[in-house]
Each structure stands twice: as structure tokens, then as C-alpha cells.
Amino acid sequence: MIEAIGLVELQSIAWGVDVADVMVKAAPVQFIDTFMVTPGKYVVLVHGDPSSVESSVQAGRQAAPEQVLDWLLIPFVHPQVFPAIRNQSGAAAIGALGLVETSSVASGVVAADQAAKAASVQLLQLHLARGIGGKSILSLTGKLFDVQAAVEAARGGAEATSRLVAVRIIPNPHPDLAARLLQAVRRPPEASEGATGGAPDSA
């Protein structure tokens, strides 16, 4: 079970790859993902036990302090967050639909964690940065009152850091839309994208 998630976002791709190497050498952690973000930023996401992730994130920040744009450490992350990032939520049905859009990767991860901890909902997908100009979009489902509570919790956290872009709740999504959402979260894991995390997103 993943207990902690850590993130470092850097303003340089070259420095980002270097910092990724530093982070996995500094402590026994594993990558969740590493990827480039328009316009030329780099994101490193790791997971492991809380102490190891804390050490890894600290090492990454210290390796290139002038390059760090954002960082994040969630010591006891909700177990639904990692599958949502990986498009492996395993959701079988769509009830009410909640959407939380934030302006950064870190705020998106925090929103997902807060939403999952606030109410009995199923996280569907946490799309981070790629193809959406560095933003994050979280989708979740459940009973309407649970979705409302989860979205409100995520909204509060994102507003507190001035990262909220939008929230929406759709009480009864059309069956065609529900089917498309379920198809998206049942895709197989992406193939390895190479040392630098594949192609950058496009804004």
C-alpha cells in the first residue's frame, strides 16, 4: 500500500531529470511518474513510506533550490489517489459526477486526497498537466450528497492556495457521457515513456 506521495516541480527540464535521479537515490522510493509540462517545466512524483518520501523530496529540493517551482508531501495519502493518477480506479458505474479543476499539479493531488478523505466517493481520474497546460482535473463519482461534500472539501483546499479554476457537479450524467468516463479509467497503463518522461504537453 502506498502511504505517502511526494512531488517536486522544476522550471528546467534538464535540472528536472537530474533531480529525479537525486530523489530516487536519496531514499527507497519509487516513481509514480516523471514528465515534461509546457512551457518547459518538469514534474517528479514519487511514492513510498512517509519517512523515505520526505527524505526524497527534501533531497530534490536541496539539489536545485533555485529551480524549484512547487513541491508537495502528503504523508498518509488516501489509497484511491494513486489509482486515479494511473487511470486504474476500477470504477464500475457512474452516479453523480464531481469535477475539480486546479491550476497546478500539486494542487490537483491535494484536491484528490482531500476529496477522497471527506466523503464516501470513488475517484475516477486525476489528470495531471499533460495536454491541459499544466493544470489538473479531478473527476469523482458517488451519491449526490457524498459528491457534494467531497467537491466542497477539495474546493476549500484549492481556494486557500488560490489554485482553484472551477468545480462542477452533474447530479445525473447522460449514459453516453458516463460510458466514456468509465472507458477512460479502464485503459491499460501507459507504456514507458523514456528517461525524460515522454513528449511535453501542449497548452
Distances (CA, A) of 40 to 4, 19, 145, 200: 27, 15, 40, 8
Long-range contacts of 78-81 (CB under 8 A, 24+ apart): 78/112, 78/113, 78/116, 78/117, 79/1, 79/2, 80/112, 80/116, 80/122, 80/123, 81/5, 81/109, 81/112, 81/113, 81/116, 81/123, 81/126
Q: Residue ranges of the domains in the chain? A: 4-74, 81-184
Measured CA to CA, the distance from residue 39 to residue 201 in angstroms comes to 9
Task: Give residue 95's pLDDT.
Answer: 96
The number of beta carbons lying within 10 Å of the beta carbon of residue 110 is: 25
Please determine whether the domains at 4-74 and 81-184 fall in the same fold group of CATH: yes
Average pLDDT over every residue of 105-115: 96
Task: Give residue 188's pLDDT.
Answer: 53
- pLDDT per residue over 129-147, tens digit each? 988 989 999 999 999 999 9
The pTM of this model reads: 0.87
- pLDDT per residue over 13-71, tens digit each? 999 999 999 999 999 999 999 999 988 999 999 999 999 999 999 999 999 999 999 99
Q: 31 versus 183: which is more confidently predicted?
A: 31
User: For residue 4, what pLDDT band results from cuts at 50, 70 and 90?
Assistant: very high
175: cell is 449514459
CATH of 81-184, one of 3.40.350.10, 3.30.420.300, 3.30.70.1710, 3.30.300.30: 3.30.70.1710
CATH code of 4-74, in short, is: 3.30.70.1710
6: cell is 511526494
